[in-house]
């Protein structure tokens, strides 16, 4: 909070700190601080009309007060009103002046929720209002705000009221627009947010579907859309070198393959090529379910950049995946005489130095690596295209880190986590999206089995049977989030145990702590078929591609997230023939654990799984945005408020096209004063 605002609000530094914990750092933040719920002190409910579950204000005379000590210490008072009906008030937490407050013969008001008690209706810990001091009823509902320890409702209400007095609540949208959208004006909206009239029903307030809530949701979504679309149009105005090419090299690449591209792959590649030919940086998301064939599309895109005379780079979230990409790209690109390199943190210092030199001199035209590529000391001669594989695994902030690597490089992001339409429109509106919505031919759907871990014997028999047919299997060790060391221990133990169980088979182990060369060697052995069973931690979750693997066993599947399970399951079913994914779980299951297993068991479509995952977790968790600090929506729910999102989307386009700068500035200053944070999404 800046000093001027603190002064206006008459708050101390300590209070300001408490407000900061609630992300309330300005007058506007306070004004947009939404109550959790409201209390109704506008009218008195006669004791004859009480209903269980309802929160209400009652008034009556104390006709009895007593302390009870069994089953626990508590104070019980009984009130009666003119109708002769009674209500019990019960306090387990007996504070010092409670006896006096509830002295027999006094008339009091009590505010609380009605419960069915043992002897009749009761309120537990109601708020007591002394009628003798003031018996005026409130005219509006009383807001109850989210708060932190040491900042009580009364203080917070006073601070927010002060903020409201000191800010002009003028509208950011013109009157005719509001009429067209059927939305109330802003002043009215904010007044109602903090002090709804008694006519607003509790149900409507709970469901946030009153017109004033719609206005707030709309404003919030409109701000988000404006900021996203502005980011996009700013990017479209930036200059980048068009990567013009004849397409000959891509043709040569494709002619090496044993398959031809699916129509969906062709369509996506065309979209990418069209972007690359433009003099503005591409920011395109290539979306496709696990196994849909994004890699070859990426290779073709890289080749286009290279033919145009530029360097290209591909980054992957794990070393194993980067290695795997490297060996694939090496076969493809060596045949075309294109010098490529690999860069990761685990290379020897000298090797790293060599790669960096070759990138700077331009000798190497294509580099594959982990996040080591993001580092400042990696300098390119003329980088034209950056490809980020499994984008969702990188931190959100890393998307911009390539900016300084070249003159507004083109960016292609790839993700196997399908982004539901609402999220795409809401949070990825500054990106263009291509979708590979078709699987390569010859895939067999993977059969999913849910097996209680006490039936491990059966699973082991099944592993034997599968391997006897010449296929290979993965065995994924449980995820132990609390400790990497423990995770490693479990993996090693599982490996030893399974090596004992399957003495006749060749069993390998791969985990994140192994040196890159070791990992690579194990992976190569599995790819070549000299290992039958690969025991792995979740490092194999993304991207690893071994068509002969037909069985995936996942231990403690209940601990894993949905997209992780979907990714893991996608490692099999790539080579034709039957494939099975065994999800082992241990009881007792938590509710979400059970729900996740149900979803993964019943669905194979990654898109549907993502949609249900979003519902289960909400957008903050789904996007991994909680940690990254992206401002999420306070009022709107993009799934439920899709109509408002669509309207906001259209209006934002229109306002930006018409260049209505006054509306844009005013609205964004109000809703997103730190607008730059959105650009990193
Ligand atoms: P993902 O989209 O999950 O990254 P990959 O690019 O790893 O998928 O492709 C999965 C497998 O499908 C690879 O073995 C790849 O060679 C193969 N593949 C890709 N495109 C086709 C296609 N059009 N026809 C047949 N197989 C394909
Ligand atoms: Mg992939």
CATH number, domain of 115, equals: 2.40.50.140
How many Å apart are CA 235 and CA 377, to the nearest integer?
25
One domain for residues 261 and 362: yes
List the residue whose alpha carbon is closest to atom 14 of ligand 1.
545
Cβ of residue 440 lying under 6 Å from some atom of ligand 1 = yes
Residue 295 CA: which ligand 1 atom is closest?
6
The single-letter DSSP state of residue 366 is E
Q: List, in order, residues 6 or more apart from 189 with CB less than 8 Å away.
A: 212, 215, 216
**Pair 599, 609: CB distance under 8 Å:** yes
The pLDDT of residue 508 is above 60: yes
Is 199 found in the same domain as 123?
no
Question: 290 CA to middle of ligand 1, Å?
Answer: 9
Clarify whether residues 312 and 325 are in a common domain.
Answer: yes
N-to-C CA span, the chain? 25
Tell me the residue range of the domain where 174 lies.
3-38+143-207
Does the beta carbon of 418 sit less than 6 angstroms from any atom of ligand 1?
no
Would you put residue 386 in left (φ > 0), alpha (ψ -120 to 50) or beta? Answer: beta
Mean pLDDT value of segment 77-88:
94
Ligand closest to 390 (CA) is 2
**Integer Cα distance of 459 and 512 in angstroms:** 25
Residue 393 has a pLDDT of: 56
441 alpha carbon – ligand 1 mean position (Å): 10
What is the spatial distance between Cα 141 and Cα 139, in angstroms, rounded to a whole number? 7
What is the per-residue DSSP string for 201-249? -HHHHHHT-SHHHHHHHHHHHHHHHHHHHHHHHHHHHS--------SHH
Q: Which of 104, 137, 170 is the last residue of a domain?
A: 137
SS3 of residue 623 by DSSP? coil
Where is pLDDT greater, at 478 or 531? Answer: 531
CATH code of the domain containing 579 = 3.40.50.300
If asked whether residues 593 and 480 sit together in one domain, one would say yes
What is the token pair recorded at 5? 């605002």
Q: Which atom of ligand 1 is nearest to the CA of 261?
A: 23
Distance 129 CA to ligand 1 centre (A): 70
CA of 287, nearest ligand number: 1
Ligand nearest to the CA of 298: 1
Q: Is 232 inside a domain boundary? A: no
20/59 same-domain check: no
Same domain, 316 and 368: yes
Judged against a pLDDT cut of 50, whether residue 463 lies above it is answered with yes
**Ligand 1 proximity of 291 Cβ (cutoff 6 Å):** yes
Number of Cβ atoms within 10 Å of the Cβ of 495: 21
For 264-287, what is the mean pLDDT? 94
From ligand 1's centre to the CA of 88, what distance in Å? 70
**How far away, in angstroms, is 623 Cα from ligand 1 center?**
26
Span 638-654, average pLDDT = 90
pLDDT at 269 over 50: yes
| Atom 22, ligand 1: residue with shortest CA distance | 440
Q: Which atom of ligand 1 is nearest to the CA of 296?
A: 6
Q: Read off the pLDDT band of 542 (50, 70, 90).
A: low
413-449 confidence digits (pLDDT tens): 998 777 777 777 777 777 888 999 898 887 778 999 9
- Is 296 close to ligand 1, i.e. is its CB under 6 Å away? yes
Whether residue 30 sits in one domain with residue 78? no
Q: Which residues does 446 contact at the CB level (< 8 Å), separation at least 6? A: 552, 569, 572, 573, 579, 580, 581, 604
- 570 and 555 share one domain: yes
C-alpha 294 – ligand 2 centre gap (Å): 6
* Domain assignment present for 566: yes
Whether 400 has a pLDDT exceeding 50, the answer reads no
Protein residue with its CA nearest to atom 16 in ligand 1? 293
pLDDT for the residue numbered 74: 93
What mean pLDDT comes out for the span 623-629?
48
Question: Ligand 1 centroid to 134 CA: how many Å?
Answer: 75
Atom of ligand 1 nearest to the CA of 260: 23
Res. 390: pLDDT tops 80: no
Quote the tokens at residue 254. Answer: 């494709």
Ligand 1: residue whose CA is nearest its atom 23: 261
Query: Residue 619: what pLDDT?
Result: 67
Cα three-residue angle 215-219-224, rounded to 5 degrees: 150
User: What digits encode the pLDDT tens for the residues 547-588?
Assistant: 899 999 999 999 888 888 998 898 888 777 889 999 999 999
Residue 231 maps to a domain = no
Which of 137, 153, 168 delimits the end of a domain? 137
Q: Is the CB of 259 under 6 A from ligand 1?
A: yes
Q: What is the DSSP letter of 274?
A: H
Give the per-residue pLDDT at 209.
82
* Distance (Å) from CA 477 to ligand 2 centroid: 22
Co-location of 340 and 453 in the same domain: no
Taking residues 38-47, what's their average pLDDT? 92
Q: From the alpha carbon of 574, which atom of ligand 1 is closest?
A: 11
Nearest ligand to residue 322 Cα: 2
Answer whether 295 contacts ligand 1 (Cβ < 6 A).
yes
How far is the centre of ligand 2, averaged over its atoms, from the C-alpha of 266 (Å)?
17
Q: Does residue 566 have its Cβ closer than 6 Å to ligand 1?
A: no
Does residue 292 line the site of ligand 1, with CB under 6 A? yes
Q: Which atom of ligand 1 is nearest to the CA of 570?
A: 3
Tell whether the model's pLDDT for residue 517 goes beyond 50.
yes
Kindly tell me if the per-residue pLDDT of 103 is higher than 90.
Answer: yes
Q: What is the pLDDT of residues 8-20, one digit of tens each?
A: 999 999 999 999 9
SS3 content of the chain, % helix, strand, coil (to 5): 45, 20, 35
Q: Does the pLDDT value for residue 375 go beyond 60?
A: yes
CB 543 within 8 A of CB 316: yes
* 81 occurs within a structural domain: yes
CB of 262 within 6 A of ligand 1: the answer is yes
**What is the Å distance from ligand 1's center to 573 Cα?**
11
Q: Give yes or no for residue 387 CB within 6 A of ligand 1.
A: no
| 298 in Cβ contact with 328 (< 8 Å) | no
Task: Find the mean pLDDT for residues 501-518.
Answer: 89
| pLDDT for 395 beyond 50 | no
Average pLDDT over residues 661-680: 75
**Is 441 within the bounds of a domain?**
no
- Picking from 3, 61, 222, 36, the residue whose alpha carbon sits closest to that of residue 146 is 36
DSSP codes of every residue in 21-65? HTT--SHHHHHT---SEEE--SSBPPGGG--TT-EEEEEEEEEEE
Q: Return the pLDDT at 376.
A: 83
Using DSSP bridges, classify how beta strands 86-91 and 107-116 pair: parallel, antiparallel or unpaired.
unpaired
416 lines ligand 1 (CB under 6 A): yes
Ligand 1 atom 12, closest CA: 293
Mean local confidence (pLDDT), 80-88: 93
How much distance in Å is there from the Cα of 391 to the middle of ligand 2? 10
Q: Is 294 in the pocket of ligand 1 (CB under 6 A)?
A: yes
Assigned domain for 294 exists: yes
Note the ligand closest to the C-alpha atom of 441.
Answer: 1
Q: How many domains does the chain have?
A: 4
Among residues 568, 583, 603, the one where a domain terminates is: 603
**Residue 406: band (very low, low, confident or very high) from pLDDT cuts 50, 70, 90:** low
Tens of pLDDT, residues 469-500: 999 999 998 876 667 778 788 889 999 999 99
b/e per residue, 420-448, with b = 16+ CB within 10 A? Answer: bebbbbbbbbbbebbbbbebbeeeeebeb
Angle at 394 between CA 390 and CA 400, to 5 degrees: 110
- Cα of 387 vs centre of ligand 2, distance in Å, is 12
293 Cβ closer than 6 Å to some ligand 1 atom: yes
Note whether 344 and 458 are same-domain residues.
no
362 and 461 together in one domain = no
- pLDDT by residue (tens digit) across 128-148? 988 877 778 999 999 999 999
In a domain, 422, yes or no: yes
> How confident is residue 628, by pLDDT bands cut at 50, 70 and 90?
very low
What are the residues facing 240 on neighbouring strands? Answer: none
> Among the listed ranges 43-52, 304-313, 422-431, which one has the minimum average pLDDT value?
422-431
How remote is the C-alpha of 473 from its chain's centroid? 32
Determine if ligand 1 sits within 6 Å of the CB of residue 573. Answer: no
Ligand index nearest the alpha carbon of residue 574: 1
Whole-number Å distance, alpha carbon 505 to ligand 1 midpoint, is 29
Predicted local distance difference test score (pLDDT) of residue 327: 86
Q: Among all ligands shown, which has an atom nearest to the Cα of 439?
A: 1
What is the sign, positive or negative, of the torsion defined by CA atoms of 148, 149, 153, 157?
negative
Mean pLDDT of the chain: 88
Q: Give how far Cα 489 sits from Cα of 197, 273, 321, 337, 424, Å.
A: 61, 47, 23, 44, 40
Question: Is the residue at 227 inside a domain?
Answer: no
Q: How many Å lie between the centroid of ligand 1 and the Cα of residue 437?
A: 13
Give the burial string for 367-379 (b: 16+ CB within 10 Å, else e): bbbbbbbbeeebe
Residue pair 227/675 in contact (Cβ under 8 Å)? The answer is yes
Centre of ligand 1 from the C-alpha of residue 585, in Å = 30
Same domain membership, residue 499 and residue 431: no
Q: For residue 66, what pLDDT is reported?
A: 93
Q: What is the reported pLDDT for 551?
A: 96
pLDDT over 90 at 31, yes or no: yes
């Amino acid at each position: 909070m800046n000093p001027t605002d603190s002064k206006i609000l008459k708050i101390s530094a300590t209070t300001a700190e408490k407000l900061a914990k609630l992300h309330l750092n300005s007058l506007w933040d306070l004004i947009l601080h939404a109550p959790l719920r409201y209390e109704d002190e506008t009218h008195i409910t006669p004791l004859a009309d009480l209903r269980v579950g309802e929160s209400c204000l009652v008034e009556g005379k104390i006709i009895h007060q007593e302390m009870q000590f069994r089953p626990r210490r508590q104070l019980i008072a009984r009130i009666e009103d003119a109708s002769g009906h009674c209500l019990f008030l019960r306090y387990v937490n007996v504070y010092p002046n409670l006896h006096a407050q509830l002295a027999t013969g006094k008339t009091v008001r009590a505010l609380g929720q009605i419960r069915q008690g043992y002897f009749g209706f009761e309120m537990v810990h109601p708020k007591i209002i002394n009628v003798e001091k003031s018996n005026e009823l409130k005219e509006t509902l009383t807001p109850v705000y989210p708060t932190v320890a040491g900042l009580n409702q009364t203080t917070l209400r006073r601070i927010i009221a002060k903020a409201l007095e000191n800010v002009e609540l003028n509208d950011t949208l013109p009157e005719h627009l509001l009429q067209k959208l059927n939305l109330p004006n802003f002043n009215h909206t904010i007044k109602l947010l903090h002090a709804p009239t008694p006519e607003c029903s509790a149900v409507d307030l709970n469901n946030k579907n009153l017109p004033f809530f719609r206005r707030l949701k709309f404003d919030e979504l409109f701000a988000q859309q404006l900021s996203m679309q502005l980011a996009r149009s700013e990017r479209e105005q930036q200059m980048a070198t068009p990567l013009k090419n004849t397409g000959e090299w891509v043709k040569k690449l494709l002619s090496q393959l044993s398959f031809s591209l699916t129509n969906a792959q062709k369509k996506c590649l065309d979209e990418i090529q069209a972007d690359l030919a433009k003099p503005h940086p591409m920011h395109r998301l290539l979306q496709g379910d696990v196994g849909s064939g994004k890699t070859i599309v990426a290779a073709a895109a890289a080749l286009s950049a290279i033919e145009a005379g530029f360097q290209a780079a591909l980054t992957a979230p794990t070393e194993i995946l980067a290695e795997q990409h490297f060996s694939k790209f090496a076969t493809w690109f060596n045949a075309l005489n294109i010098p490529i390199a690999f860069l990761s943190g685990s290379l020897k210092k000298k090797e790293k130095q060599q790669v960096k030199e070759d990138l700077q001199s331009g000798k190497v035209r294509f580099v594959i690596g982990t996040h080591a590529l993001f580092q400042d000391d990696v300098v390119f001669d003329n980088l034209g295209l950056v490809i980020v594989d499994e984008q969702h695994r990188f931190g959100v902030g890393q998307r911009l880190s390539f900016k300084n690597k070249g003159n507004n490089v083109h960016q292609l992001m790839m993700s196997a986590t399908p982004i539901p339409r609402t999220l795409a429109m809401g949070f990825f509106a500054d990106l263009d999206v291509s979708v590979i919505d078709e699987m390569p031919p010859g895939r067999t759907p993977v059969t999913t089995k849910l097996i209680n871990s006490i039936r491990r014997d059966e699973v082991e028999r099944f592993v034997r049977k599968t391997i006897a047919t010449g296929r290979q299997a993965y065995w994924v060790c449980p995820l132990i989030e609390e400790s990497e060391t423990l995770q490693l221990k479990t993996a090693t133990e599982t490996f030893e145990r399974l090596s004992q169980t399957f003495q006749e088979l060749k069993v390998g182990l791969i985990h994140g702590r192994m040196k890159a060369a070791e990992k690579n060697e194990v992976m190569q052995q599995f790819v070549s078929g000299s290992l039958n069973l690969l025991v792995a931690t979740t490092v194999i979750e993304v991207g690893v591609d071994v068509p002969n693997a037909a069985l995936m066993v996942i231990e403690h599947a209940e601990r894993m997230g949905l997209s992780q399970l979907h990714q893991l399951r996608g490692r099999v079913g790539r080579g034709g023939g039957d494939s099975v994914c065994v999800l082992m779980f241990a009881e007792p299951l938590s509710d979400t654990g059970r729900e996740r297993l149900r979803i993964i068991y019943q669905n194979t479509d990654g898109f549907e799984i993502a949609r249900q995952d979003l519902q289960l977790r909400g957008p903050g968790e789904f996007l991994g945005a909680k940690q990254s600090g992206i401002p999420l929506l306070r009022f709107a729910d993009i799934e439920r408020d899709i109509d408002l999102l669509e309207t906001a989307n259209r209006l934002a386009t229109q306002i930006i096209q018409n260049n209505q700068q006054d509306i844009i500035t005013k609205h964004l200053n109000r809703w997103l004063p730190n607008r730059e944070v959105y650009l990193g999404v």
